[in-house]
Structure 1
Amino acid sequence: MRVNGYAHQLRVDNRATLLDVLREQLSLTGTKKGCDHGQCGACTVLLDGRRVVSCLILAVTAEGTEVTTVEGLSAGPGLHPIQEAFIEHDALQCGFCTPGQICSAAGLTPQETASLADVREAMSGNICRCGAYVNIAAAVYESVSTS
Protein backbone atom coordinates (compact mmCIF):
# COMPACT_ATOMS: atom_id res chain seq x y z
CA MET A 1 0.00 0.00 0.00
CA ARG A 2 1.03 3.59 -0.44
CA VAL A 3 0.75 5.84 2.58
CA ASN A 4 1.28 9.58 2.28
CA GLY A 5 2.99 9.10 -1.07
CA TYR A 6 5.41 6.36 0.04
CA ALA A 7 5.16 2.68 -0.89
CA HIS A 8 5.18 0.21 2.00
CA GLN A 9 5.42 -3.55 1.91
CA LEU A 10 4.04 -4.81 5.18
CA ARG A 11 3.26 -8.12 6.77
CA VAL A 12 -0.02 -7.76 8.59
CA ASP A 13 -2.39 -10.06 10.39
CA ASN A 14 -5.43 -10.44 8.17
CA ARG A 15 -7.55 -9.24 11.12
CA ALA A 16 -5.56 -6.02 11.65
CA THR A 17 -7.36 -2.78 10.95
CA LEU A 18 -5.88 -0.04 8.84
CA LEU A 19 -5.90 2.17 11.94
CA ASP A 20 -3.77 -0.28 13.92
CA VAL A 21 -1.29 -0.74 11.07
CA LEU A 22 -0.93 3.01 10.59
CA ARG A 23 -0.31 3.59 14.29
CA GLU A 24 1.62 0.48 15.29
CA GLN A 25 3.64 -0.48 12.22
CA LEU A 26 4.10 2.87 10.46
CA SER A 27 4.19 5.05 13.61
CA LEU A 28 1.66 7.48 12.13
CA THR A 29 0.03 8.36 15.41
CA GLY A 30 -1.84 11.40 14.13
CA THR A 31 -4.71 9.07 13.30
CA LYS A 32 -6.46 8.56 16.63
CA LYS A 33 -8.19 5.52 18.06
CA GLY A 34 -11.41 6.81 19.54
CA CYS A 35 -14.37 4.48 19.80
CA ASP A 36 -12.93 1.66 17.63
CA HIS A 37 -16.47 1.14 16.26
CA GLY A 38 -16.60 3.68 13.41
CA GLN A 39 -18.89 6.04 15.27
CA CYS A 40 -16.68 8.96 16.34
CA GLY A 41 -14.58 9.73 13.24
CA ALA A 42 -11.30 10.26 15.15
CA CYS A 43 -9.61 7.71 12.89
CA THR A 44 -10.75 9.25 9.57
CA VAL A 45 -8.19 9.02 6.77
CA LEU A 46 -8.44 9.31 3.01
CA LEU A 47 -8.41 6.08 1.00
CA ASP A 48 -7.87 6.95 -2.66
CA GLY A 49 -9.16 10.43 -1.78
CA ARG A 50 -12.34 9.11 -0.14
CA ARG A 51 -13.10 9.64 3.56
CA VAL A 52 -13.09 6.41 5.57
CA VAL A 53 -12.97 5.49 9.24
CA SER A 54 -9.81 3.42 9.40
CA CYS A 55 -10.92 1.40 12.44
CA LEU A 56 -13.46 -0.41 10.22
CA ILE A 57 -11.14 -1.08 7.26
CA LEU A 58 -9.06 -4.23 7.27
CA ALA A 59 -5.49 -3.33 6.37
CA VAL A 60 -5.28 -6.14 3.80
CA THR A 61 -8.09 -4.53 1.83
CA ALA A 62 -5.98 -1.38 1.45
CA GLU A 63 -3.49 -3.22 -0.76
CA GLY A 64 -2.98 -1.25 -3.96
CA THR A 65 -4.57 1.91 -2.58
CA GLU A 66 -3.30 5.36 -1.62
CA VAL A 67 -3.84 6.16 2.04
CA THR A 68 -3.50 9.75 3.22
CA THR A 69 -3.27 10.54 6.91
CA VAL A 70 -3.14 13.94 8.57
CA GLU A 71 0.65 13.71 8.43
CA GLY A 72 0.53 13.47 4.63
CA LEU A 73 -1.99 16.17 3.74
CA SER A 74 0.45 18.98 3.07
CA ALA A 75 2.04 18.85 -0.35
CA GLY A 76 4.91 21.09 0.64
CA PRO A 77 6.76 22.66 3.51
CA GLY A 78 3.74 24.48 4.95
CA LEU A 79 0.42 23.34 6.31
CA HIS A 80 -2.55 22.22 4.24
CA PRO A 81 -5.10 25.08 3.83
CA ILE A 82 -7.56 23.22 6.04
CA GLN A 83 -4.94 22.92 8.78
CA GLU A 84 -4.27 26.64 8.52
CA ALA A 85 -8.00 27.39 8.71
CA PHE A 86 -8.33 25.27 11.85
CA ILE A 87 -5.61 27.32 13.51
CA GLU A 88 -7.06 30.64 12.32
CA HIS A 89 -10.55 29.75 13.58
CA ASP A 90 -9.36 28.16 16.84
CA ALA A 91 -11.14 25.00 15.70
CA LEU A 92 -9.19 22.73 17.99
CA GLN A 93 -9.49 22.49 21.70
CA CYS A 94 -8.11 19.28 23.19
CA GLY A 95 -6.99 18.29 19.68
CA PHE A 96 -7.92 14.61 19.91
CA CYS A 97 -10.54 14.73 17.16
CA THR A 98 -8.65 17.28 15.07
CA PRO A 99 -6.75 14.88 12.75
CA GLY A 100 -9.95 13.03 11.86
CA GLN A 101 -11.83 16.29 11.41
CA ILE A 102 -9.10 17.64 9.13
CA CYS A 103 -8.90 14.48 7.02
CA SER A 104 -12.66 14.38 6.77
CA ALA A 105 -12.72 18.01 5.64
CA ALA A 106 -9.97 17.37 3.09
CA GLY A 107 -12.10 14.64 1.52
CA LEU A 108 -15.23 16.74 1.09
CA THR A 109 -16.64 17.21 -2.38
CA PRO A 110 -17.85 20.58 -3.74
CA GLN A 111 -21.48 19.41 -3.40
CA GLU A 112 -20.92 18.83 0.31
CA THR A 113 -19.59 22.33 0.89
CA ALA A 114 -22.04 24.56 -0.96
CA SER A 115 -23.26 26.11 2.29
CA LEU A 116 -22.34 26.14 5.96
CA ALA A 117 -25.33 23.85 6.61
CA ASP A 118 -23.98 21.41 4.01
CA VAL A 119 -20.59 21.42 5.73
CA ARG A 120 -22.21 20.71 9.10
CA GLU A 121 -24.13 17.80 7.63
CA ALA A 122 -21.11 16.36 5.82
CA MET A 123 -18.95 16.60 8.94
CA SER A 124 -21.61 15.15 11.26
CA GLY A 125 -19.82 11.79 11.44
CA ASN A 126 -16.90 13.39 13.27
CA ILE A 127 -17.55 13.90 16.97
CA CYS A 128 -15.84 16.62 19.01
CA ARG A 129 -16.27 16.10 22.72
CA CYS A 130 -15.04 19.66 23.44
CA GLY A 131 -17.87 21.14 21.38
CA ALA A 132 -15.77 23.14 18.92
CA TYR A 133 -18.31 22.50 16.15
CA VAL A 134 -19.01 26.15 15.37
CA ASN A 135 -15.32 26.89 14.83
CA ILE A 136 -14.71 23.62 12.97
CA ALA A 137 -17.60 24.26 10.56
CA ALA A 138 -16.41 27.83 9.96
CA ALA A 139 -12.83 26.67 9.33
CA VAL A 140 -13.93 23.98 6.91
CA TYR A 141 -16.37 26.22 5.06
CA GLU A 142 -13.82 29.01 4.71
CA SER A 143 -11.03 26.73 3.55
CA VAL A 144 -13.12 25.02 0.89
CA SER A 145 -14.89 28.15 -0.31
CA THR A 146 -11.60 29.96 -0.88
CA SER A 147 -9.80 27.09 -2.62
Structure 2
Amino acid sequence: MVLRPPRAGGYDGVLRRPPMPGPVLATVLAFALLALLFALATVHRLLAEDGSLGAAVFFAAMAVTCVFVAFSLSGRRPWAAYPAYVSSGLFAVASLGMFGAITIVGVGLLAWVLWALNSRSGREWLSGRHRLR
Protein backbone atom coordinates (compact mmCIF):
# COMPACT_ATOMS: atom_id res chain seq x y z
CA MET A 1 0.00 0.00 0.00
CA VAL A 2 1.35 3.41 -0.95
CA LEU A 3 0.58 6.42 1.20
CA ARG A 4 0.76 9.77 -0.48
CA PRO A 5 0.99 13.10 1.27
CA PRO A 6 -2.02 15.37 0.77
CA ARG A 7 -1.82 17.74 -2.14
CA ALA A 8 -1.44 21.44 -1.57
CA GLY A 9 -4.46 22.25 -3.70
CA GLY A 10 -7.88 20.68 -3.87
CA TYR A 11 -10.48 20.15 -1.23
CA ASP A 12 -8.30 18.22 1.25
CA GLY A 13 -7.41 21.35 3.22
CA VAL A 14 -11.02 22.57 3.32
CA LEU A 15 -12.46 19.38 4.79
CA ARG A 16 -9.80 18.88 7.42
CA ARG A 17 -10.04 20.50 10.84
CA PRO A 18 -7.22 22.96 11.49
CA PRO A 19 -4.66 21.76 14.02
CA MET A 20 -4.97 22.88 17.62
CA PRO A 21 -2.70 25.86 18.34
CA GLY A 22 0.17 25.25 20.73
CA PRO A 23 -1.06 27.48 23.59
CA VAL A 24 -4.51 25.85 23.52
CA LEU A 25 -2.93 22.37 23.47
CA ALA A 26 -0.76 23.28 26.46
CA THR A 27 -3.87 24.56 28.26
CA VAL A 28 -5.73 21.30 27.59
CA LEU A 29 -2.76 19.30 28.87
CA ALA A 30 -2.49 21.50 31.97
CA PHE A 31 -6.16 20.97 32.83
CA ALA A 32 -5.86 17.24 32.21
CA LEU A 33 -2.87 17.10 34.57
CA LEU A 34 -4.75 19.15 37.16
CA ALA A 35 -7.73 16.80 36.88
CA LEU A 36 -5.45 13.85 37.60
CA LEU A 37 -3.84 15.62 40.57
CA PHE A 38 -7.21 16.64 42.02
CA ALA A 39 -8.53 13.09 41.60
CA LEU A 40 -5.49 11.75 43.46
CA ALA A 41 -5.98 14.36 46.18
CA THR A 42 -9.63 13.30 46.50
CA VAL A 43 -8.67 9.66 46.95
CA HIS A 44 -5.96 10.61 49.44
CA ARG A 45 -8.37 12.71 51.52
CA LEU A 46 -10.96 9.94 51.52
CA LEU A 47 -8.44 7.29 52.58
CA ALA A 48 -6.56 9.36 55.15
CA GLU A 49 -7.65 8.81 58.73
CA ASP A 50 -7.69 12.50 59.59
CA GLY A 51 -8.86 13.71 56.16
CA SER A 52 -11.81 16.06 56.08
CA LEU A 53 -14.86 15.40 53.95
CA GLY A 54 -15.06 19.05 52.89
CA ALA A 55 -11.60 18.92 51.35
CA ALA A 56 -12.44 15.70 49.53
CA VAL A 57 -15.61 17.28 48.10
CA PHE A 58 -13.65 20.37 47.01
CA PHE A 59 -10.97 18.28 45.32
CA ALA A 60 -13.59 16.13 43.58
CA ALA A 61 -15.44 19.21 42.31
CA MET A 62 -12.19 20.70 40.99
CA ALA A 63 -11.30 17.39 39.30
CA VAL A 64 -14.68 17.25 37.53
CA THR A 65 -14.35 20.91 36.53
CA CYS A 66 -10.86 20.37 35.09
CA VAL A 67 -12.05 17.33 33.10
CA PHE A 68 -14.97 19.38 31.77
CA VAL A 69 -12.66 22.22 30.72
CA ALA A 70 -10.17 19.87 29.04
CA PHE A 71 -12.89 18.09 27.05
CA SER A 72 -14.68 21.28 26.06
CA LEU A 73 -11.45 22.91 24.86
CA SER A 74 -10.37 19.83 22.93
CA GLY A 75 -13.87 19.54 21.46
CA ARG A 76 -13.51 23.08 20.06
CA ARG A 77 -16.63 24.45 21.66
CA PRO A 78 -17.04 28.20 21.15
CA TRP A 79 -18.01 28.68 24.83
CA ALA A 80 -15.09 26.59 26.16
CA ALA A 81 -13.03 29.60 27.18
CA TYR A 82 -15.53 30.70 29.84
CA PRO A 83 -15.35 27.55 32.01
CA ALA A 84 -11.57 27.73 31.68
CA TYR A 85 -11.58 31.31 32.97
CA VAL A 86 -13.88 30.44 35.86
CA SER A 87 -12.06 27.30 36.97
CA SER A 88 -8.60 28.87 36.76
CA GLY A 89 -9.94 31.92 38.63
CA LEU A 90 -11.38 29.68 41.35
CA PHE A 91 -8.09 27.83 41.60
CA ALA A 92 -6.19 31.12 41.88
CA VAL A 93 -8.56 32.45 44.56
CA ALA A 94 -8.49 29.16 46.49
CA SER A 95 -4.70 29.17 46.44
CA LEU A 96 -4.39 32.71 47.82
CA GLY A 97 -4.82 31.47 51.38
CA MET A 98 -1.76 29.24 51.11
CA PHE A 99 0.84 31.99 50.39
CA GLY A 100 3.50 29.83 48.81
CA ALA A 101 4.28 27.83 45.73
CA ILE A 102 0.63 26.86 45.25
CA THR A 103 -0.30 30.56 45.05
CA ILE A 104 2.25 31.08 42.29
CA VAL A 105 0.84 28.07 40.42
CA GLY A 106 -2.74 29.32 40.78
CA VAL A 107 -2.02 32.86 39.64
CA GLY A 108 0.28 31.54 36.89
CA LEU A 109 -2.46 29.24 35.61
CA LEU A 110 -4.92 32.13 35.52
CA ALA A 111 -2.44 34.32 33.62
CA TRP A 112 -1.65 31.49 31.19
CA VAL A 113 -5.32 30.74 30.48
CA LEU A 114 -6.10 34.41 29.92
CA TRP A 115 -3.17 34.76 27.52
CA ALA A 116 -3.56 31.45 25.68
CA LEU A 117 -7.29 31.64 25.04
CA ASN A 118 -7.26 35.34 24.16
CA SER A 119 -4.39 35.11 21.69
CA ARG A 120 -5.35 35.44 18.06
CA SER A 121 -4.74 31.81 17.19
CA GLY A 122 -6.71 30.59 20.21
CA ARG A 123 -9.68 32.85 19.50
CA GLU A 124 -9.80 31.86 15.84
CA TRP A 125 -9.51 28.16 16.60
CA LEU A 126 -12.24 28.19 19.24
CA SER A 127 -14.59 30.29 17.11
CA GLY A 128 -14.35 27.89 14.18
CA ARG A 129 -13.16 30.55 11.77
CA HIS A 130 -10.00 30.03 9.83
CA ARG A 131 -8.14 32.26 7.45
CA LEU A 132 -7.83 31.52 3.77
CA ARG A 133 -4.29 31.30 2.55
TM-score when normalising by structure 1: 0.27
TM-score when normalising by structure 2: 0.29
Structure index of larger Rg: 2
Q: Which has the higher strand share?
A: 1
